[in-house]
């Protein structure tokens, strides 16, 4: 127990806004799994973040359960870690409101994800989309997290979280631990297989650009075989070779091989062989996840048990920070 208390706290979350992608897995979830023994890990499905973009209710319910089962299937163990559903833990909405009042309009305006998403959803630039980073800051700060394992696209939001926390602490004393992003060396930014200048995303318009965690093997192989490359016909990591660089990144992240090793392995071979090798490596990495997902999704009662247990623990831990912050601000009991 004493040892438990010394462990650093890890917090991270993922939006259940569609099926989980290979990008989510290599950039974040794989590290969540790996960190479970060394840290006190707290993970969430950030379903409140998801409604910043309009959702179809029945589909959203399905996505939440599917995402929960998919993440568990990757290897999250609720005997070791907490894995809860954000909307079930009311402290998040409350903390987000408080932090909104300590976050500047200018700061939120500079968030590149807000700019991207408002361009993409120009008919629905709602206040939630704008203030989403303070909800995310609350998620992290409520648990006094030391480390936040995420992909590179969340770096700016984590920096803002630190700025908000420092500002709050500056006014009221040490209320929040200042967290640190934990971004993997390999796989932090997996790009679309069809447009390697854009990140691989659940909402890619071109279905072949995105590999989903639960894609069947033949679909995965087809997507890699169709991946955009170049006319250089040489497997090497270099500027301007975005498609090949991305495939090398994926291959390296899955096999643990360095770029040098990959270049040697495919010396004298064409892109066809290389794409097949990447496809096979990804298929083998995802096979056990898909099998485990099928078992989990068939057992809704077990999933419910897992998240109810985690929801309760998350509420207990986060209430401590929320109460402290509210007291400091000047609310009375
Ligand atoms: P989300 O749901 O967009 O993505 C979940 C995680 O996957 C990473 N990721 C990627 N990594 C590599 N390559 C990609 N193509 C790729 N696409 C996504 C993301 O960086 C992320 O780590 N706002 C967050 C969810 C969130 C959160 C939090 C995260 C809510 N509260 C508190 C950390 C801490 C989001 O929308 O992630």
Which atom belonging to ligand 1 lies closest to the Cα atom of 132? 23
> Tokens representing 20?
């989980």
Q: What is the pLDDT of residues 78-97, one digit of tens each?
A: 999 999 999 999 999 999 99
| Over residues 47-73, mean pLDDT | 97
Residue 244 φ then ψ, to 5°? -65, -40
Q: How confident is the model at residue 270 (pLDDT cuts 50, 70, 90)?
A: very high
Looking at every residue in the chain, the average pLDDT score rounds to 96
Q: Could you report how far apart the first and last alpha carbons of the chain are, in Å?
A: 32
Check residue 6 and give its pLDDT: 84
Q: Is 80 a catalytic residue?
A: no
Q: What is the pLDDT of residues 13-35, one digit of tens each?
A: 999 988 899 999 999 999 999 99
| Over residues 115-137, mean pLDDT | 95
Query: Does the beta carbon of 14 lie inside 6 Å of ligand 1?
Result: yes
Check residue 264 and give its pLDDT: 97
Query: Does the beta carbon of 9 lie inside 6 Å of ligand 1?
Result: no
Check residue 3 and give its pLDDT: 52
* Residue tagged active-site, from 155, 177, 202, 225: 202
In order of start, what are the domains of the chain with their CATH numbers? 2-188+300-329 (3.40.50.620), 207-294 (1.10.240.10)
Ligand 1 centroid distance, CA of 24 (Å): 7
Distances (CA, A) of 330 to 24, 105, 172, 199: 40, 23, 10, 43
């Amino acid at each position: 127990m004493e040892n438990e208390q010394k462990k650093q706290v890890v917090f991270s979350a993922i939006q259940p806004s569609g099926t989980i992608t290979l990008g989510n897995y290599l950039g974040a979830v794989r590290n969540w799994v790996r960190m479970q023994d060394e840290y006190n890990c707290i993970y969430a499905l950030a379903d409140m973040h998801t409604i910043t973009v309009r959702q179809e209710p029945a589909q959203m319910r399905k996505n939440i359960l599917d995402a929960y089962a998919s993440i568990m299937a990757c290897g999250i163990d609720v005997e070791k870690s907490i894995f809860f559903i954000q909307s079930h833990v009311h402290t998040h909405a409350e903390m987000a409101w408080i932090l909104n009042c300590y976050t500047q309009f200018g700061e939120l305006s500079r968030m590149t994800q807000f700019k991207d998403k408002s361009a993409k959803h120009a008919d629905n630039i709602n206040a939630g989309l704008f203030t989403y980073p303070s909800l995310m800051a609350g998620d992290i700060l409520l648990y006094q997290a030391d480390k936040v394992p995420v992909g590179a696209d969340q770096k700016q939001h984590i920096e803002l979280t630190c700025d908000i926390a420092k500002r709050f602490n500056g006014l009221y004393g040490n209320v929040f631990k200042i967290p640190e992003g934990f971004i993997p060396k390999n796989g932090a930014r997996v790009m679309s297989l069809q447009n390697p200048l854009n990140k691989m995303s659940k909402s890619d318009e071109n279905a072949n650009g995105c590999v989903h965690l639960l894609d069947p093997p033949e679909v995965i192989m087809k997507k890699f075989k169709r991946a955009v490359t170049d006319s250089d016909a040489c497997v090497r990591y270099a500027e301007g070779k975005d498609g090949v660089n991305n495939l090398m990144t994926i291959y390296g992240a899955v096999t643990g091989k360095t770029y040098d090793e990959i270049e040697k392995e495919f010396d004298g071979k064409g892109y066809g062989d290389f794409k097949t090798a990447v496809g096979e490596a990804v298929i083998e990495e995802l096979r056990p996840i898909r099998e485990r997902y099928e078992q989990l999704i068939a057992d809704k009662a077990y999933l419910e048990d897992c998240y109810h247990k985690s929801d309760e623990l998350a509420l207990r831990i986060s209430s401590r920070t929320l109460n402290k912050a509210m007291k400091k601000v000047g609310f009375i009991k």
